[in-house]
Structure 1
Amino acid sequence: MLSPGYERAPLPPLRETPVETVHDTRAEAEKKPSGKNDRDPFLDNAKYLTIVLVAIGHAWAPFAGNSRTTGALYMLVYAFHMPAFIVISGYLSRSFDGRPRQISRLVTGVLVPYVIFQTAYTLFMRAVDNPDREFYYQKPGFALWFLVALFLWRLTTPMWKNLRWPVSVSLVIAIAASVTPSIGGDLGLMRVVQFLPFFVLGLQLRPEHFRFLQSRPSRRVALPVAACAALLAYWAVPRMSSAWFGHAASVQQMGVPAWKGAVVNLALFGCSLVLTACFLAWVPRRRLWFTALGAGTLYAYLLHVYPIRLARVNEWYDMSWVGHPLGRVTVTILAAVMMTLLCTAPVRRVFRGLMEPKMAWFFRPDPAAAARAREHTPTPDRDPSAQRRDSSAQPRDSSAHR
């Protein structure tokens, strides 16, 4: 833990990126000379706060249409919580270049958990809702689309790093996808492509960009901008669907012409980008009580699905107290507490075998890694200290001084 006076530390240089965006605790942590954990508090704070907002958004969904105020808050949160989550994921992926070790972590930290949790979600829904629910892996269950997206985004990272205008290219691809109904819902590809620009943007960010957002002028601007966005959301509630921010359907399915939908999506991208900047401007940079929880955000993201779905299937939202303002505040607090608990170390220890399986048996040995290990392994004939000991043990030849 950092000392109490440690504040506003510069973002650390990225080493080999963890598979979890937001997420793998094994590779993202670095060690200080003192041996203490040197994770950047800003990133962990941002990850924790965004994952809490994800759960709150899911918890608000059933009654967002019953109150204009709740609907406005729901729309406001959905405008930036996943974009912010994805931008951070892209930033943490900057060093991904497809090395064997990175590929193995991508498989074990993203692809394998997707298969495991997609299977678990199907069994869960069979037990609580539909006994005849089919096993299929091409259609991600509730919220599981993000694992597919993260896998595909990471694989394409080397390509984005080599383009001259990666954000512009990804935005053109996203807009083109939004007007292409034939893409469909397999593997959540519509969401994968439409959210792609935020991931690519994260790849382009540097520590100085975050420092700029954290400056005093940026923070002062963020508050009135967010207030204006809240008023705009309140105005928009009866005039547009919040489904626009989910990016799960084409514009034709949203009932608008292609050209108009393309313009709307372009505007929504700009809106989400501005609100993401406002959010990051006010994320604390110092270590707080919830900073360590940022290491468990992917655990919370995957595990919160089950209580959320259970509440909807069992119609807990139909209880009379939920419809009152105090009931909605209670639901919000419960969602935040749930995500906080799911990010804790005990939960990570219990589910680490599912979320971070080692699976060394599944991959070929990396020759480069083995060579590096041999180089760093001292041997009797290469150990300088051994050579010095051997030379000192030999008797001096007096004839050498003659």
Structure 2
Amino acid sequence: MTQLVSPSLRPPGAQTSVLRRDPYYDNAKLLAVVLVVCGHFWEPLIEQPGQRHLKALYLLAYTFHMPAFILISGYFSRTFTARPQQLRRLATGLLIPFVLWGALLTLFNNTFSGTPTKWQPLTPVWITWFLIALFLWRVSAPLWQTLRTPVAIATALFLAAGAFSLGAQLSVTRVLQFLPFFVIGLTMRPSHLVWLRETRWVKGAAVTVFVVAGVAAYWLAPRLGAGWLYRSGSAAELHVSYTHWLVQSAAVYAAGLIVTAAFLALVPGRDAWYTALGAGTMSAFLLHAFIRQALVHTHTYDHRVLHHPAGQAVLTALSIALALALCTRPVGRIMRPLIEPRLNWLFRPNGTPGNQVP
């Protein structure tokens, strides 16, 4: 799978033989993955003294970039019915890469780190949480589509998750806390996105939303821990009461939903020079982690130049360039065996089921 949203999971009614990629979705995925890469390269600096501006940018990006990815993933999971061929693509595009890239990241970190850690196959290694989360969300898609009030139930599960420490295995806490965004995408109709994309006053309001969100992020930078935006901690793990967690998490969720809608309203819908790169977002998502970790392990972030706006502007420009380069087709072709291994030997021909026990 060379992208974060599988092209095989198309909106209902799409004709495979005549379907043409809508540049809007590739543009949205590309912009979101660029923000992911920038955020990860900013992260080691945001809690340093005098970095309020950088932390504000970080908080703003984390408010919506993963919710946007997840919502779009839900939208393109509307036709997932657990057919054998779909399950096969799910296994080769998400489940197996989750295990493989977790092992690779652990090996890479252990090579550079003075304190090696043991690889645990069921425990996500940093960015690999998204692979297993998307696998679990997509497998559950047919169930959500049978419910009368799926968004309300998903939101209730998210709010309940904060009361329990669920552990790190399979990133269950994040799966539940980000779940409403996936279910919202799953229940959206094409007309909803058309309304966001083409209504003039909505686009104007979206600009206002980002201005207000930017000002709010700057005000919150010294007051809000970034951990609240990761959606990976319970009340106990964030050292607050459940009531406090409930109120603050609900506010973060509402802000994420509003800014995500604003982002989707402002995404360009036209084919541009960068649009084709949106098909290679998985390469950028996975590969940039090794470069960022290499900078951390080699103490590059200790250099004083990165603690000044000029150095951070260069870091940001290089992060954007890296994200775009890793989305290119040559990189995707090289990485395909690791991102979407075919593994024909593992599956029955044409996804046919085996003999069933009577």
The TM-score with structure 1 as length reference comes to: 0.82
Determine the structure 1 residue equivalent to 2:233.
249
Q: Tell me how far apart the structure 2 counterparts of residues 178 and 297 of structure 1 sit (CA, whole Å).
A: 31
Determine the structure 2 residue equivalent to 1:209.
192
Amino acid at match of 2:153: V
Which of 52, 61, 72 in structure 2 is aligned with 1:77? 61
Determine the structure 1 residue equivalent to 2:4.
22
Determine the structure 2 residue equivalent to 1:393.
none
Q: Tell me how far apart the structure 2 counterparts of residues 307 and 169 of structure 1 sit (CA, whole Å).
A: 39
Shift in CA distance, 293/211, structure 1 to aligned 2, threshold 3 Å: same
Q: Tell me how far apart the structure 2 counterparts of residues 20 and 209 of structure 1 sit (CA, whole Å).
A: 27
Q: Tell me how far apart the structure 1 counterparts of residues 347 and 221 of structure 2 sit (CA, whole Å).
A: 51
Determine the structure 1 residue equivalent to 2:163.
179
Q: Tell me how far apart the structure 1 counterparts of residues 276 and 16 of structure 2 sit (CA, whole Å).
A: 15
C-alpha RMSD over aligned residues:
1.9
8 Å CA contact 2:3, 2:280 repeated in 1: no
Q: Tell me how far apart the structure 2 counterparts of residues 314 and 367 of structure 1 sit (CA, whole Å).
A: 46
Q: Tell me how far apart the structure 2 counterparts of residues 31 and 241 of structure 1 sit (CA, whole Å).
A: 45
2:301 matches 1:313: no
2:47 matches 1:65: yes
SS in 1 for 2:46: helix
8 Å CA contact 1:219, 1:278 repeated in 2: yes
Amino acid at match of 1:64: I
- Which structure has more RCO (C-alpha within 8 Å, separation ≥ 6)? 2
Unaligned stretches of 5+ residues in structure 1: 1-18, 370-402
Report the alpha carbon displacement of residue 128 of structure 1 after superposing the two structures with TM: 1.1
Determine the structure 2 residue equivalent to 1:388.
none
Unaligned stretches of 5+ residues in structure 2: 354-358
2:331 matches 1:347: yes
2:179 matches 1:196: yes
Q: Tell me how far apart the structure 1 counterparts of residues 327 and 301 of structure 2 sit (CA, whole Å).
A: 25
8 Å CA contact 2:3, 2:283 repeated in 1: no
Report the alpha carbon displacement of residue 130 of structure 1 after superposing the two structures with TM: 3.9
Determine the structure 1 residue equivalent to 2:356.
none
8 Å CA contact 1:53, 1:77 repeated in 2: yes
SS in 2 for 1:22: coil
Which of 125, 131, 138 in structure 2 is aligned with 1:141? 125
8 Å CA contact 2:2, 2:332 repeated in 1: no
Determine the structure 1 residue equivalent to 2:20.
38
Q: C-alpha offsets along residues 122-169 of structure 1, whole Å, 9 cap, x if unaligned?
A: 111121114632121122112110011011111100000111111110
Shift in CA distance, 129/368, structure 1 to aligned 2, threshold 3 Å: closer
2:251 matches 1:267: yes
Q: Tell me how far apart the structure 1 counterparts of residues 88 and 300 of structure 2 sit (CA, whole Å).
A: 41
Determine the structure 2 residue equivalent to 1:300.
284
Amino acid at match of 1:144: T
Q: C-alpha offsets along residues 31-79 of structure 1, whole Å, 9 cap, x if unaligned?
A: 776xxx7101000000000000001111111111231111111111111
Equivalenced residues, count: 347
Amino acid at match of 1:205: M
Determine the structure 1 residue equivalent to 2:32.
50
Report the alpha carbon displacement of residue 245 of structure 1 after superposing the two structures with TM: 0.5
Report the alpha carbon displacement of residue 289 of structure 1 after superposing the two structures with TM: 0.8
Determine the structure 1 residue equivalent to 2:318.
334
Please say which of residues 270-279 and 113-122 is displaced more in the overlay. 113-122
Percent identity between matched residues is 40
Matches within 5 A, 1:110-149: 110-130=94-114, 132-149=116-133
Which of 153, 157, 181 in structure 1 is aligned with 2:141? 157
Amino acid at match of 1:172: A
Determine the structure 1 residue equivalent to 2:210.
226
Amino acid at match of 2:319: A
Amino acid at match of 2:168: G
The TM-score with structure 2 as length reference comes to: 0.92
Please say which of residues 99-108 and 248-257 is displaced more in the overlay. 248-257
Q: Tell me how far apart the structure 1 counterparts of residues 186 and 116 of structure 2 sit (CA, whole Å).
A: 42
Q: Tell me how far apart the structure 2 counterparts of residues 20 and 207 of structure 1 sit (CA, whole Å).
A: 24
